[in-house]
A = this chain, B = another copy of it.
Amino acid sequence: MTIEARGALSREAVLEAAARLVKEHGPDALTMRRLAAELGTAVTSIYWHVGGREALLDALVERTVAELGEIRPCAGTPEQRVVGVARALRRQLRDHPHLVALVHERGLTERMFLPAQQVLVCEAHAAGLRGARAAEFVRAVQFQVVGHVLVERNRERAPVQHPGEEELWGAETAGADPALARALARPVDTERLFVTSVRALVRSLLPQPPAMPTRPADAAG
């Protein structure tokens, strides 16, 4: 439909049109023929500039990863900062569902997390964690955050569930704990669960500052 400004078809123009196509109509809409129509060129011209479909997707995904990977530091305690980084990353991933779908499919969701690693390392150090233990902390958080986002996406794509949590946790299955059954029958508050989980992980893996007077939590690495 929309014909691009003609003349001098460039690699950049192709990528831009491809990105727009994906953003507006989803990854499936990105076919070589449709893209060519959008650009007002022959299908084969695209091959000259960016190569085949795989190469085009590679370039598109690389672009997205670089853009969304940017991370800016926050303030607060180490725990708060880690949660902040996690939430920022999650938001960016959720704000571009179609482009990120491509990133997921190509297995590069993880790759996007690399810039955030540095921030996490700082927080680990600030909390007194070093060496292999710090590395483990960084990776645990990384897997946790990316994993959560992938699960959310998985849930959103899921068709109608077939027992489904609602039926599975109906009145009689509840047994001795109706409050739990009610909670599990409700849809998940993913934002809340996300923060809870990240916080729980951080609290277990990061040495906690003395803070409360009651009992000394070990400050030793």
Q: A156, A168, A176, A183 — which one has the most chain B CB atoms within 10 A of its CB? A: A183
Decide yes or no whether A114 CB sits under 8 A from chain B: yes
Decide yes or no whether A138 CB sits under 8 A from chain B: yes
With CB as the reference atom, state the residue of chain B lying closest to A140: B197
| Residues of chain B with a CB closer than 8 A to A114's CB | 163, 165, 168
State in angstroms the CA–CA spacing of A140 and B151 once bound together. Answer: 11
| Residues of chain B with a CB closer than 8 A to A139's CB | 184, 188, 193
What string of 1s and 0s marks CB contacts (under 8 Å) between A15-38 and chain B?
000000000000000000000000
Q: Interface residues of A toward B: which range? A: 35 or more
Which residues of chain A from 124 to 173 have any CB-CB distance to chain B below 8 Å in the complex?
124-125, 130-132, 134-136, 138-140, 143-144, 146-148, 150-151, 153-159, 161-163, 165, 168
Residue from B157, B184, B205 in contact with A106 in the complex, judged by beta carbons closer than 8 Å = B157
State in angstroms the CA–CA spacing of A42 and B39 once bound together. Answer: 39
Determine if B140 and A179 form an interchain contact, defined as CB atoms under 8 angstroms apart: no
| Residues of chain B with a CB closer than 8 A to A125's CB | 176-177
With CB as the reference atom, state the residue of chain B lying closest to A179: B131
| Residues of chain B with a CB closer than 8 A to A188's CB | 139
Residue from B109, B177, B201 in contact with A130 in the complex, judged by beta carbons closer than 8 Å = B177
State in angstroms the CA–CA spacing of A109 and B148 once bound together. Answer: 13
**CB<8 Å pairs between A and B, sample of 6:** A131-B183, A135-B184, A139-B193, A140-B193, A150-B150, A204-B204
A: which residues have CB within 8 A of B? 58, 62, 104, 106-111, 114, 117, 121, 124-125, 130-132, 134-136, 138-140, 143-144, 146-148, 150-151, 153-159, 161-163, 165, 168, 176-177, 179-180, 183-184, 188, 193, 196-197, 199-201, 203-205, 207, 217-219
